Amino acid sequence: MKLLCQRGCLGRAQSKRQCFHAQTLRKIFPVVQSELNSIQAGPVHALRKAGRVTPSYDLKSQSRLDSWKSIALYFGRTCRTVQRWHCENGLPVHRAGGIKSSVFAYVDELEGWMRNRGSVVTDESAGSSKPVPARTPLGEEASTSPNQKLNSSLIPEQAKARSRDLVDLSYKMWESLSHGNLQAIVRFLREACDQDPTNATAFGCLSLALIAEGLWGDVRPEAAYLSAGAAVRRAFEMDSEEIEAKCADAWLKTISTRDWEGARRGFDAILNHRSMGTRALNGRALLHIVEGCLEEASSLLLEAAERNPLSSSPMALYCWNQYLAGEYANALDQVEQIRAGGRPCPITEAVEAMAFIQIEEPEVHIDRLEAMVAASPRNDIVRGVLGYTYGTTGQDRKARKVLDAITDSGSRAMRCEPYAIALILIGLNERPMAVEWLEKSFRNGSLWSLGFQSDPILEALSNDPHYLLFLGRASYPTSMSASSHLASAS
């Protein structure tokens, strides 16, 4: 009986405690529930719950992200995921100095990279193969229409003056353009755009500088051209007659969209309108190379070199044009002159290697080519010429070793030049696969793809059905003079 009484008292005490807890929960539950509802109703939470790859709303207004954490937050992913995207898929992330320095990325480049990946992105961070809808580009989320101009009155005059000074500085540096100062030009123009986003000239010049980086191999061409196209569109939104943007647009039509006729009209209109220094002359000369008019290209490149004697680009392209025309000794002499003047670049190094194996038997220059590769280990074309020479002289094992070194270099393999791989495969007589890499070089907008019709090494493929089919799809243009000659003959 006593035991039952004790149990009854304990039961009544426990019941009181339960009642107290229940009353407490009833008081605080509405507050907690309200907080949960507000969190779950937030746009970021809802989009992440749905699996969307959506930029952080806090970062939406920024033009530059300065750490892996902010880049990851922008995509709504982990740092490890975006680092893997950078290594394996070419996510455009830059470093301020060496390999251990801090990183930064520009929002417009990230936007272009996402658009280039397609409308469906795999949810890599979750390790799932289920496709996830791609996020809406940042430009489309903004409330402003594409043609709406920014209110320049909101920008401090000091920032506008700084932007103009940076553009003027880039003009002066462009007069002595070299492989060494190109990245500095891009950096100054980036800052000019950051300081004054209404400076149309800054965006037009930035586009030209990005195109040069893609052509010279400093940046993957397709990534460089995406950013350059975005810069051109920004410039045209503010000033549809901006001359630098028009020049960049003609360049992009030549190397990216392959609108040959549109590029010809664009360059000719610019050259007739006003002097554009080396930029429009170089572009029109490259279009002559595409057409197979190598003499006309030489004339324009020499004119550009005369106007800007300190710039490396006209003479580097002139050396390549001489090689394409079969003037190998002259090409080598010009390369030597450029080296003596302290203006070597990856283009002249590649031309030197290709001309050597044309002027004499290839095996004579193997030692020289090996030394060139040791001196310029990141120049894929020089390595490709060495692999080609190994293949044509029966040293297949060495050729495949060079091929493996180019294609199995980790993240570097993402930036390898397809034309270099095609050269090695031609030397190994694997022609169908070589044509596939030539086609990839054409799609990527490689500089070397502009000279395929005149390339001496590619003469070995002149009767190959795969190569002829590729040329038909590429639809390389013919010169106006050649077209009129064929018409009169008909």
Residue 387 domain boundaries: 364-479
C-alpha distances out from residue 479 to 74, 269, 395, Å: 48, 17, 40
Q: What is the mean pLDDT of residues 150-170?
A: 88
Residue 100, pLDDT score: 58
For residue 199, being part of any structural domain is answered with no
Same-domain pairing of 441 and 467: yes
CA atoms of 467 and 473, how far apart (whole Å)? 10
Q: What is the mean pLDDT of residues 233-261?
A: 94
Residue 329 has pLDDT above 80, yes or no: yes
- Would you state the structure tokens that stand for residue 250, as one six-digit string? 């003609």
Residue 138 has pLDDT above 90, yes or no: no
Residue 487 has pLDDT above 60, yes or no: no
CA atoms of 186 and 216, how far apart (whole Å)? 13
215 vs 141 pLDDT, higher one: 215
Q: Which of 95-104, 282-291, 327-336 has the lowest mean pLDDT?
A: 95-104
For residue 433, being part of any structural domain is answered with yes
Are 348 and 328 in contact by the 8 Å Cβ rule? The answer is no
Residue 3 has pLDDT above 50, yes or no: no
For residue 373, being part of any structural domain is answered with yes
Quickly count: other Cβ atoms within 10 Å of residue 489's Cβ. 6
Same-domain pairing of 390 and 469: yes
pLDDT bracket for residue 324 (50, 70, 90): very high
Residue 105 has pLDDT above 80, yes or no: yes
Same-domain pairing of 372 and 414: yes
Q: How many helices (H) and strands (E) does the chain have?
A: 24, 5
For residue 41, being part of any structural domain is answered with no
Residue 134, pLDDT score: 38
Q: What is the mean pLDDT of residues 426-455?
A: 95
Give the chain's mean pLDDT: 79
Q: What is the mean pLDDT of residues 188-198?
A: 95
Same-domain pairing of 379 and 458: yes
- Would you state the structure tokens that stand for residue 392, as one six-digit string? 């044509």
Percent of the chain with pLDDT over 70: 73
Sign of CA dihedral 25, 28, 30, 35: negative
Range 282-302 burial, b when 16+ CB lie within 10 A, else e:
bbbbbbbbbbbbbebbbebbb
Residue 193 has pLDDT above 70, yes or no: yes
Q: What is the pTM of this model?
A: 0.68
Q: Which of 10-14, 178-182, 383-387 has the lowest mean pLDDT?
A: 10-14
Task: Specify the number of domains making up the chain.
Answer: 2
Same-domain pairing of 460 and 386: yes
Same-domain pairing of 340 and 373: no
Helix 346-359 to helix 366-375 angle, to the nearest 10 degrees? 170
Range 72-89 burial, b when 16+ CB lie within 10 A, else e:
bbbbbbeeebbbebbeee
Domain boundary among 327, 344, 359: 359
Residue 125, pLDDT score: 39
Residue 75 has pLDDT above 60, yes or no: yes
For residue 353, being part of any structural domain is answered with yes
Q: Is 13 exposed, middle or buried (0-12, 13-18, 19+ CB in 10 A)?
A: exposed
pLDDT bracket for residue 436 (50, 70, 90): very high
Same-domain pairing of 399 and 450: yes
For residue 221, being part of any structural domain is answered with no
Residue 146, pLDDT score: 45
Q: What is the mean pLDDT of residues 332-355?
A: 92
Q: Is 433 exposed, middle or buried (0-12, 13-18, 19+ CB in 10 A)?
A: middle
Are 324 and 294 in contact by the 8 Å Cβ rule? The answer is yes
CA atoms of 302 and 293, how far apart (whole Å)? 15
Domain boundary among 334, 359, 384: 359
Would you give the end-to-end CA distance of the chain in angstroms?
125
Q: What ranges in 428-479 are assigned the alpha helix state H? A: 431-444, 465-474
Residue 485 has pLDDT above 70, yes or no: no
Q: What is the mean pLDDT of residues 77-95?
A: 80
pLDDT bracket for residue 87 (50, 70, 90): confident
Same-domain pairing of 438 and 454: yes
pLDDT bracket for residue 96 (50, 70, 90): low
Sign of CA dihedral 157, 159, 164, 168: positive
Residue 321 has pLDDT above 60, yes or no: yes
For residue 148, being part of any structural domain is answered with no
Same-domain pairing of 412 and 380: yes
Domain boundary among 344, 359, 374: 359
Are 446 and 408 in contact by the 8 Å Cβ rule? The answer is no
Residue 364, pLDDT score: 83
CA atoms of 325 and 334, how far apart (whole Å)? 14
Same-domain pairing of 437 and 336: no
pLDDT bracket for residue 70 (50, 70, 90): confident
Same-domain pairing of 377 and 469: yes
Residue 490, pLDDT score: 37
For residue 401, being part of any structural domain is answered with yes
The H or E element that residue 103 is part of is strand 103-106
Residue 337, pLDDT score: 92
Residue 98, pLDDT score: 55
Same-domain pairing of 346 and 443: no
CATH of the domain at 346: 1.25.40.10
- DSSP lists the bridge partners of residue 17 as none
Q: What is the mean pLDDT of residues 466-488?
A: 69
Are 218 and 187 in contact by the 8 Å Cβ rule? The answer is no
- Would you state the structure tokens that stand for residue 253, as one six-digit string? 């039509």
